[in-house]
A and B are shown apart, each in its own frame.
Chain A
Amino acid sequence: MKTDSSSQRFSQAIFSLALENNAIDTWLTNFNELEIITSNMELISLLDRPDLDIELKTKIIKELLGTSISPEAFNLIHLLSKRNIVHTLKSLIDHFHQLVDSNKQLTRITIESATKLNPDQKTNLEAFLAQFSKGSIKTNYLINDTLIGGFIAKIGDRILDASIKTRLKQLNQSLKN
């Protein structure tokens, strides 16, 4: 959730490196492999221990990941564990995904609706939501029956709330006033 500014710097650096070498896809697969680390809190705290020798840490990483990742990605983990900031890896990867998306002019939109939408509704909705994006959109549909009706679209940090739940809340407020 919370992105550290240092992880943003790292992901920007990796992104520009990937652009130069035309290796964005390689990095994306690398990051998929690194899920072993990001999903294991104990491993993260072990690699973040300042009292542990860096050589030992390198050995652990090598044994764990072997040759499944590129030398650049290995260097990244090496650098992070040397600085004891492996815990920022997850937000680093998240931010890298965001950079890749914005480079492709892709906007990810999460749509919550009370009931499952039929294909017609989806096409209409996507055509409508396309105006909020400069390029293409990628949608992710969720069902949330507390909304009663309508939908909520989350576009990055912004939200388009057209749910019955919120309308009723607003009506309630206006009657109170």
Chain B
Amino acid sequence: MGIKGENIASIIKSQIENFEYQTELVDIGTVVEVGDGVARIHGLSGVGANELVEFEGGISGIALNLEENVVGAVILGDPLAIKEGTEVRGLGRVAAIPVGENFIGRVVDGLANPIDNKGTIESTQTRPTEVVAPDVASRQEVNVPLQTGVKAIDAMIPIGRGQRELIIGDRSTGKTSIGIDSIINQAKEDVICIYVSIGQKVGKVAQTYGILEQNGAMGHTIIVAANASDPAPMQFLAPYTGCALGEFFMHQGKDVLIVYDDLSKHSWAYRQMSLILKRPPGREAYPGDVFYLHSRLLERAARLSKELGGGSLTALPIIETLAGDVSAYIPTNVISITDGQIYLEPELFNSGSRPAINAGLSVSRVGSTAQTKAMKTVAGRLRLDLAQYRELSTFAQFGTEDLDQSTKSQLERGSKAVEVLKQNHSSPLSIEKQIIILFALTNGYIDDIETNKVQDFETNLYEYMELHHQDLMKSISEQKTIDDEISSKLSNSITEFKKSIA
């Protein structure tokens, strides 16, 4: 150990010498009622909305309801330690969390305290959890792609840096997997990732941590976890904490990806708090400001202008629907806030086409400007073709003999496309590999492969290309366009490969 006994003593001595305590007038109040994670406080006449308060014993809270005679505050900690008559002080500031580089690779709770038993996190800066989103002048257009490594998304529903793309679907349809795959793929993209888990089972968070660790993704990732066992106020705060951590990096000019898993549970936590605070319930018993709850969070996703460093914060909120009902209150709210959605279907998931993305219902409103030219060339019509194939395949169930040739070939191509877009979880693909396989698909090189052999063909093609055409793959990823030269080289190499396996 480098620190000797006397060093420690001298450090403590200087700390004691430099200790400054300012006596100032503070607001106080007393708890008159406490229960369900909410305290009603008499006094605190000068407290502001959203101001941080401190209960006797060091537990903090946030003053949310300022009424005529009482202040309603949520408790951020063990509510059992607070009793009737406990003294409360106003701290004169809003909730803020420590931020910094040292958070990368760590698991923290809703107030950014470490919960991974790896010791304290050193930081010199703090950021308020609630800030106003960047204004028009400090933003620029979203035009740099964020590669998720998922073929179906990068080809059909491209996401740009600074975009907000909703992942929506029923339970166990692979929503979290898409978020995790996107995080894993950022290892080589130099994007810092934040995974915010809200109201999840502790076991599932541990599993997610395990997957990220195994795939070497914790080196650029922070996990913010407010688990199902944590009080509702912590679950309510977690996404804002995650966002504040992300904004720190965004303002340094870095690119950040943040996954909110999931905002349905976030709105449940807020509904619980609001009902206990006796705010009037509205539709589905959510309070009136539940729209603003998510809009102010997701508006903080942005791509900053060059003058501000050009950093970005891309948000992937997740919403869980019940029995596919996208017209429920919270799903429609978040759909209207975000710049598009990835819709996952249980039917597709169960039929084995995973990721179970419904190409017809999924859109990306700003992503197409962010898609690379190469990807646009090979995947331009893919979404439309796939949607048409789904329509046709319903008819084709009655028999394909009477169909005309063009319909038959469309069906054939569609079934191959479905096979090509299948992808295992935790195995993101680089952009050049995606382009190669989609080039092969759209130019008809896969038409004569049997449907059940398409996936073998795909893996072998990647191996072959890596072995024999490294330079071609490199030029695709560097040039990001498919000119005539690359196009002919690709055609030749795929033909060569097909000869080799024939």
List residues of A whose CB falls within 8 A of some B CB.
1-5, 8, 132, 154-162, 167, 170-171, 174-175
Identify 19 residue pairs between A and B in the complex whose beta-carbon atoms are under 8 Å apart, listed by A's number: A1-B42, A2-B42, A5-B69, A8-B69, A132-B25, A155-B25, A156-B45, A157-B27, A157-B44, A158-B27, A158-B28, A160-B23, A160-B24, A160-B25, A160-B26, A170-B19, A171-B19, A174-B15, A175-B16
Not counting A8-B68, A171-B16, A174-B19, a sample of 5 additional A-B residue pairs whose C-beta atoms are within 8 angstroms of each other reads: A157-B29, A158-B26, A158-B27, A171-B19, A175-B15
Q: How far is the CB of B124 from chain A (nearest CB, A)?
A: 12
Answer yes or no: B395 CB below 8 A from chain A CBs. Answer: no
Nearest chain B residue, comparing its CB with the CB of A161:
B23
The CA of A156 and the CA of B29, in the complex, are separated in Å by: 10
Q: How far is the CB of B11 from chain A (nearest CB, A)?
A: 10
The CA of A175 and the CA of B11, in the complex, are separated in Å by: 10
Answer yes or no: B290 CB below 8 A from chain A CBs. Answer: no
Produce 1/0 per residue, B25-40, CB < 8 A to A. Answer: 1111110100000000
Answer yes or no: B21 CB below 8 A from chain A CBs. Answer: yes
List residues of B whose CB falls within 8 A of some A CB.
12, 15-16, 19, 21, 23-30, 32, 42-46, 68-70, 89
**Given A156-B45, A158-B46, A175-B12, A3 and B25 contact (CB-CB distance below 8 Å):** no
Q: How far is the CB of B165 from chain A (nearest CB, A)?
A: 39
Q: How far is the CB of A109 from chain B (nearest CB, A)?
A: 12
Number of A-B contacts defined by CB within 8 Å: 53
Task: For B45, give its contact among A2, A157, A174, A175 (CB under 8 Å).
Answer: A157
Q: How far is the CB of B228 from chain A (nearest CB, A)?
A: 30
The CA of A54 and the CA of B452, in the complex, are separated in Å by: 90
The CA of A14 and the CA of B98, in the complex, are separated in Å by: 52
The CA of A162 and the CA of B24, in the complex, are separated in Å by: 8
Task: For A4, give its contact among B19, B26, B43, B69 (CB under 8 Å).
Answer: B69
Task: For B68, give its contact among A5, A158, A161, A175 (CB under 8 Å).
Answer: A5
Pair B23/A157 contact, Cβ less than 8 Å: no
Which residues of B have CB within 8 Å of A174? 15, 19
Nearest chain B residue, comparing its CB with the CB of A2:
B32
The 8 closest A-B pairs by CB, nearest first: A157-B45, A162-B23, A159-B28, A157-B43, A2-B32, A167-B21, A158-B25, A160-B25
Pair B15/A159 contact, Cβ less than 8 Å: no
Which residues of A have CB within 8 Å of B44? 157
Which residues of B have CB within 8 Å of A159? 25-28, 89
Nearest chain A residue, comparing its CB with the CB of B32:
A2
Which residues of A have CB within 8 Å of B12? 175
Pair B69/A2 contact, Cβ less than 8 Å: yes
The CA of A171 and the CA of B16, in the complex, are separated in Å by: 7
